[in-house]
Amino acid sequence: MSHPAKASEFLQDAAKAKWHDETLWFVRDKRDTISKTIPEWEHLRDLASKIKDNVLANLDEYLVKFEEKATANGIQVHWAKDAEEHNQIVLGILQRHQCKAIVKSKSILTEECHLNPYLEKNGIEVVDTDLGERIVQFLNQPPSHIVLPAIHLKKRDISELFHEKLHTEKGNEDPAYLTHAARLHLREKFLGAKVAITGVNFGVAETGEFVVCTNEGNADMGVHLADVHIACMGIEKIIPRRKDLGVFLRLLARSATGQPITNYNSHFRSPAPGKEIHIVLVDNGRTDQLAREKFKNSLKCIRCGACMNTCPIYRRSGGYSYGSVVPGPIGSILSPGLDVKKYSTLPFASTLCGSCTDVCPVKINIHEQLYEWRQEITKAQGTNAKSISMKIANGIFAVPFAYQVTGAMMRGALKFLPDSITYSGLNIWGKQRDLPETPKETFKDWYKKNRS
């Protein structure tokens, strides 16, 4: 289904759609408030953007340096060219350790690679330990937001779900009660897992360490109890130096949720004695995107989700309307790079209002890239009815006389057509909106009479 169809479905439940809009607006508002307590906020964004420019321009060198340092620290580094190779590498490590159950903290990359179904197919139980992720996992749903995976659900939904899955009291919607039940449930899973998987927020080339940011501490809990830690990392997550974290960590949580900092920013450098750390460096289309001059900046993304919270479309259509792993504005410029046909409606799911670009902590020109993807998509689609009408339109606007004649016809038609035709199903504008009244003369006509 296309974005417009799914968005219109989402809006059917008007009360819930309004709640969704207001909930995410609340998060954006918190972000606005806290970002304005930092006088150098715009300077920080600029710095972050430039550091990422440097990373993208020298990605090969930074990656090799990162591998070298990490290896020297005792970490085992793997390279995966695509999702399949990534999944095979992870499965191989699990099989070597005869591991049948793992815990995983939030990682959009493993969603992108569809790791969960792959491992489950191979007889491995996967438990997502981020509370929101565990909720959507129970429901067999993907996350609907990259930072707030279960934001499309209300307390009542969670209460019903936990009653079914965790045998909590029926009808008890108290968040503290429900969270406590999840905590007890997850504790068991943490204790039983020999291998823990995490994502990576930042890989530091200078030191070979990597940083994982969570609010719930679930990444740390999983990793410290397990013998083996597998960290899955997109190759664009590199930053040059440890001190660059002073820029990115200040921006990340403030942009994401309006907090000063994520509760846990854990640095992993060397495995403890007798334990293992693996890093899987994944390309999966990233070098292709890097080669696209107009779109490579999308790789600067630090996955804060601010563009989703601010997007008037996302707030009113929900994450699932996009049908992509990463929804919202950033998803709409990343996804067409993976499959231009499948995601062809996404760059059009925007008014090009530019709010996404202005909240982005690394200054990705998101709305400009949406515009550029539109140009690419219409090219890829070739000649169709719409492209022909555009050529005709250009013919009209390039020739003043043709424009005048057409304009007069258009106005004439509106004046004389009965409302039953003007407002029929064929006229989508008129379904829920009145058309402007047609004036008796155009400005051009008026000007000729009154000024020349």
Q: Interface residues for another protein in 314-333 (CB under 8 A)?
A: 316-317
Site for another protein, residues 333 to 352, rule: CB under 8 A: 348-352
Count of residues in contact with another protein, rule CB under 8 A: 73
The alpha-helical segments, DSSP class H, found in 108-149 are 108-112, 115-121, 131-138
Give the N- to C-terminal CA distance of the chain in Å, as an integer.
54
- Near another protein by CB under 8 A, which window of 88-96, 137-145, 155-163, 399-407? 399-407
**CB burial readout 78-117, b (16+ within 10 A) else e:** bebeebebbbebbbebbeeeebeebbbbbbbbbbbbebbe
Asked if 359 interacts with another protein (CB under 8 A), we say: yes
Q: Quick one: which of 8, 95, 122, 263 contacts another protein (CB under 8 A)?
A: 8
CA distances from 406 to 146, 157, 393, 396 (A): 48, 54, 10, 8
Asked if 420 interacts with another protein (CB under 8 A), we say: no
Asked if 358 interacts with another protein (CB under 8 A), we say: yes
- Asked if 269 contacts 72 with a C-beta cutoff of 8 angstroms, the reply is no
Helix, coil or strand: residue 233 = strand
Asked if 441 interacts with another protein (CB under 8 A), we say: yes
Tell me how far, at minimum, the Cβ of 85 lies from another protein, in Å. Answer: 34
Tell me how far, at minimum, the Cβ of 435 lies from another protein, in Å. Answer: 7
Torsion of CA 220, 222, 227, 228, to 10 degrees: -90
Cα–Cα distance between 341 and 323 in angstroms, integer? 13
Residue with tokens 């992509």: 324
Q: Quick one: which of 57, 272, 393, 417 contacts another protein (CB under 8 A)?
A: 393
Site for another protein, residues 258 to 317, rule: CB under 8 A: 310, 312-313, 316-317
CA distances from 301 to 264, 286, 340, 367 (A): 20, 12, 20, 14
Cα–Cα distance between 438 and 412 in angstroms, integer? 9
The tokens for 441 are 């003369």
Tell me how far, at minimum, the Cβ of 1 lies from another protein, in Å. Answer: 13
The tokens for 30 are 């918190």
Cα–Cα distance between 106 and 145 in angstroms, integer? 12
Tell me how far, at minimum, the Cβ of 16 lies from another protein, in Å. Answer: 13
DSSP bridge partners of 378: none
Asked if 75 interacts with another protein (CB under 8 A), we say: no
Asked if 33 interacts with another protein (CB under 8 A), we say: no
Asked if 353 interacts with another protein (CB under 8 A), we say: yes
- Near another protein by CB under 8 A, which window of 159-167, 195-203, 329-337, 396-404? 396-404
Asked if 449 interacts with another protein (CB under 8 A), we say: no
Q: Quick one: which of 391, 417, 419, 424 contacts another protein (CB under 8 A)?
A: 391
Tell me how far, at minimum, the Cβ of 261 lies from another protein, in Å. Answer: 18
| Cβ nearer to another protein, comparing 238 with 370 | 370
| Cβ nearer to another protein, comparing 223 with 349 | 349
The tokens for 391 are 């050529």
Here's the x/- map for another protein, 128-147, by CB under 8 A: it reads as --------------------
Here's the x/- map for another protein, 365-384, by CB under 8 A: it reads as ------x--xx-xxx-----
Cα–Cα distance between 136 and 239 in angstroms, integer? 31
Asked if 13 interacts with another protein (CB under 8 A), we say: no
Label residue 74 left, alpha or beta by phi (over 0 means left) and psi (-120 to 50 means alpha): left
